[in-house]
Every structure is written in C-alpha cells, then in structure tokens.
Amino acid sequence: MAYTAEISRSNPTCFLFLVDQSGSMAERFGDQSGRTKAQGVADAINRLLQTLVHRCSKGDYILDRYCIGAIGYGDEIGLGFPGSLAGEVLRTVSAIGNGPLRIEDRVKRVEDGAGGLVEQRVKFPVWFEPIAQGKTPMCAALQVAQEVVSEFVSQHPRCFPPIVINVSDGAATDGDPGPMAAALRNVASQDGNALLFNVHISSRGETPILFPPDEGRLHDEYARLLFRMSSPLPAEMLRQAQVREASVQEGARGFAFNADLSSVVTFLDIGTRVDSTSR
C-alpha cells in the first residue's frame, strides 16, 4: 500500500519548500494582520520548519527523520537556506533545528481554561526573512525541485515519498507551472509519488480555506491554478486531517488559501502519537 513507508533515521523522508520571493509579495496580505505577503510567506515557512523540528526533538537532541530543503524564487533561483545552513539544498532536520538565523521572542494568545485568552511568550525561530524582489519563476523552481527530489529518491528508494510545499501568490511569470508540477508529482519512490502541496498567500481578504476537495470556494484564478497543481491527501493523511477537522472531505487536496498548512506535517506517522486522543 502506498504512503505507508516507515519514517525514521534509517529511512528518512524529504520536505522541500519552494518560497516565492517575487516583487508581488510586497503587497498587503489579505489576513487583516497588516503584514505583507512576503511576511506571510516567511511566517508560514518558519512555522512549518518549527513544527518539523518539534516533531523530531527528543529533548536534548533532534532525531534525523527528515531532510529539509528550500528553493527561493524571485530575482533568481536561490538554493538552500541562508546563514550557517547555506551551501547545500537539503539539510538534516537536526542541522535545521540547530541553525536558525535567530530566535525571536513573540507573544501568542492562548486559551486560559476559563473561556478567555492570555498572552504567552514563545520562542519563534527564524530561518527565512521576508524578501520581495523580481519576477516569479515558479516553473524554473518546480524544475529544480524535481531534480532535487529525484536525487533524494534515488538515494532513498524505499522512503515515504518526498513532500514539496510551494508557498506563493501564484502568479508565475515564466509560463504555465501546471506541466512542471505534474512532472514533479511523477517522481516516485517505491512507496508512492512525490506530493506537491501549495499554500496560496493572497491579498484577498476572504475566509481562509484548508484542504478543499474542489475549486468551488476558490474565487481567485491563481488559487485555482495552485489547487489544480496540488496532490490529493493520501489516505492516512486524510484520516488525520478529518480527526482534526471533521469538515475535511474525501478528495481533499494539500492546498491552503491564506491558511496555516503546518498541521500537514503532523499527519505523518513517526511512531506513538501524543495527541488529544491518547492524553
């Protein structure tokens, strides 16, 4: 059965982030926060990376169940992470966890258990800064991504299929990204085809949408384009998504419109879960 391979240090999987850094990302994000789309992208990627690292933290060390890579696209195609992680496209999750650019103190509102909210100080590691410069060579980025995951799969043929997460406003300037996306989804390990998920960061102030099964609620042509490029959630990921949100339907795709996709990382089975069903 596909998408059931063990994810462990001896059989790691790969996450690859495609980060839109084009000039259009300087526009205002549609989530009422006052942030730019570039800031929305940076926060989305940093939150995803944080979730990946948290899942592999054992306390005083990080277990390397994942390799994680990044490809920025804007003025140029930028391979890999900035700062101390520069030099290679893919890094182990422990290298990522130990190598953020900086760790910010942020304030988060959490439920106080009595129906209200309290502010809590949290550490927020930053790997990506907001960048908004140049055009949107999404096709070129998808092609490089295909090469990176093909290489990973050739080295780890039994791996859980690589997961590519593209965060963009969707307006590619180098052609139709659809065929490139299809080619990327055709890369396969013995456990199934690579998964391409998309996060659409939009200026439209519409209700966030997560894991839709069709285009019906998507009013933006770029959102529809990114939806069509997105892989359906494999069975176990769909089941986990439905545990969290009963409204997620059969045929749901790995797509988010102005929404946080980081939960998708927690849908992967790495061993005994610690969640509301077990605690």
Partner 1 sequence: MAIGSRTFWLARKGNTPAEYEDASAANEAAGRYALADGATESCFAGLWARLLVEDFVKDCDADLQSWPDSISFLQVLWDAEVQSRPIPWHAQRGVDQGAFGTFLGITLAACPEGPCQWQAVAVGDTCLLHTRGDALLRAFPVECSKEFGNAPKLVGSRMSLDEIRKRESLWTDGRGQPGDRLWMMTDALAHWSLVEHEAGRNPWGELESLLSGPETGEHFASWVEGLRDVRGLRNDDVTLLAIHL
Does 99 bind partner 1 (CB under 8 A)? Our answer is: no
Segment near partner 1 (CB under 8 A); pick from 95-103, 152-160, 182-190, 205-213: 95-103
186 closest CA partner among 226, 214, 153, 212? 153
For partner 1, which is the closer residue by CB, 120 or 249? 120
Q: Does 59 bind partner 1 (CB under 8 A)?
A: yes
Question: Any contact of residue 272 with partner 1 (CB under 8 A)?
Answer: yes
- Tell me how many degrees the CA angle 257-27-46 measures, rounded to the nearest 5: 55
Using rule CB under 8 A, residue 107 touches partner 1: no
Q: How far apart are CA 50 and CA 253, in angstroms?
A: 23
270 near partner 1, judged by CB under 8 A: yes
Q: Does 58 bind partner 1 (CB under 8 A)?
A: yes
Under DSSP, the state recorded for 25 is G
Please list, residue by residue across 202-215, b when 16 or more beta carbons sit within 10 angstroms of its beta carbon and e when fewer do: bbeeeeebbbbbee
The interface region with partner 1, picked from 14-22, 146-154, 225-233, 270-278 by CB under 8 A, is 270-278
Count of residues engaged in binding partner 1, rule: CB under 8 A? 29
Secondary structure string (H, E, C) spanning 51-84: HHHHHHECCCCECCCEEEEEEEECCCEEECCCHH
Cα end-to-end span (Å), the chain: 29
- 13, 19, 45, 55: which one binds partner 1 (CB under 8 A): 55
The reply on whether position 91 binds partner 1 by CB under 8 A is no
Q: At what angle do helices 177-186 and 221-229 cross, to 10 degrees?
A: 20
57 binds partner 1 (CB under 8 A): yes
Distances (CA, A) of 36 to 27, 32, 39, 134, 199: 5, 10, 5, 16, 15
Name which position in 11, 143, 203, 242 contacts partner 1 (CB under 8 A): 11
Q: Shortest approach of partner 1 to residue 28 CB, angstroms?
A: 30
Q: Which residues would be at the binding site for partner 1 (CB under 8 A)?
A: 6, 8-11, 53-55, 57-60, 62-63, 97-98, 103, 123, 125, 269-275, 277-279
